[in-house]
Structure 1
Amino acid sequence: MARYGYARISTDEQSHDPQLLELKREGLEEIITDTVSGRIPAMERPGMSVLLNRLGQGDSMVVARLDRLGRDTVDVMGLVRSLTENGVRVRILNIGIETGTPNGQLFLTILAGFAQFEREIIRERTRAGLEAARQAGKRLGRCPILTSRQKKHVCELRQAGRSLAEIAKIFRVSRSTIWRTVQCGR
Structure 2
Amino acid sequence: MRKYLYIRVSTKEQNEDRQLALKDKYGLRNSDVFIDKATGKNFDRPAYQNLKVEVQKGDTLIVMSLDRLGRNKEQALEELREFKQRGIRLIVDDLPTTQIELDEKNQLIIEMINNILIEVYTTLAEEELKRTKIRQRQGIDSMPINDNGKRYSKKTGREVGRPNKRENLTTEQERYIKAWINKSIKLSDCIKFSGLSEATLYRIKAKLISKENNSKSKNEI
TM-score (norm 2): 0.46
Superposed, which structure 2 residues align to 1:125-136 within 5 Å? none
Partner of 1:32: 34
Closer, same or farther: CA 77–100 of 1 in aligned 2, 3 Å = farther
Equivalent pairs, count: 114
Residues 75 and 107 (structure 1), Cα distance of their counterparts in 2 relative to 1, 3 Å cut: same
State the distance in 1 between where 2:15 and 2:67 align. Answer: 15
Is residue 59 of structure 2 the alignment partner of residue 59 of structure 1?
Answer: yes
Equivalent residue for 1:45? 45
**Which residue of structure 1 aligns with residue 79 of structure 2?**
79
Question: How far off its partner does 1:89 sit?
Answer: 0.9
Alignment of 1:103-142 (within 5 A): 103-109=116-122, 112=125
Specify whether residues 2 and 34 from structure 1 end up closer, same or farther in structure 2 by C-alpha distance, changes over 3 A only: same
Q: Distance in 1 between matches of 2:61 and 2:36?
A: 14
Q: Which residue of 1 aligns with 2:180?
A: none
Identical residues among aligned pairs (%): 29
If you compute each CA radius of gyration, which structure gives the higher value, 1 or 2? 2
Q: What CA distance in whole angstroms lies between the structure 2 residues aligned with 1:6 and 1:96?
A: 19
Tell me how far apart the structure 2 counterparts of residues 83 and 97 of structure 1 sit (CA, whole Å).
20
Residue-by-residue CA offset, 1:131-172 (whole Å, 9 max, x unaligned): xxxxxxxxxxxxxxxxxxxxxxxxxxxxxxxxxxxxxxxxxx
State the distance in 1 between where 2:127 and 2:17 align: 26
- C-alpha distance in structure 2 between counterparts of 1:24 and 1:53, whole Å: 23
Query: Which residue type is aligned with residue 49 of structure 2?
Result: S
Unmatched runs of 5 consecutive residues or more in structure 2: 99-109, 130-221
**CA distance change for structure 1 residues 111 and 8 in 2, over 3 Å: closer, same or farther?**
farther
Rounded to whole Å, the distance in 2 between the matches of 1:56 and 1:14 is: 30
3-state SS in 2 of match to 1:90: strand
With CA pairs under 8 Å and 6+ residues apart, which has the higher RCO, 1 or 2? 1
- d(CA) in 2 for partners of 1:70 and 1:85? 19
Give, in whole Å, the separation in 2 of the partners of 1:91 and 1:108. Answer: 13
Cα drift, residue 25 of structure 1: 1.4
Aligned pairs for 1:136-155 (under 5 A) are none
Q: Cα distance 1:97–1:111, how it changes in 2: closer, same or farther (>3 A)?
A: farther
Q: CA deviation at 1:91?
A: 0.7
Give the root-mean-square deviation of aligned CA atoms: 2.6
How far apart, in 1, do the equivalents of 2:70 and 2:39 lie? 9
Per mean C-alpha deviation after superposition, the further-off stretch among 51-60 and 88-97 is 88-97
TM-score normalised per structure 1: 0.54
Shift, 1:114, TM fit: 9.9
Cα gap change, 1:111 to 1:65, in 2 (>3 Å): farther
CA positional deviation for 1:110:
5.2
3-state DSSP of counterpart to 1:94: coil
Cα deviation for residue 104 of structure 1 reads 3.3
* Matched-pair contact (CA < 8 Å) for 1:32–1:48: yes
Q: Quote how far apart the aligned CAs of 1:95 are.
A: 1.1
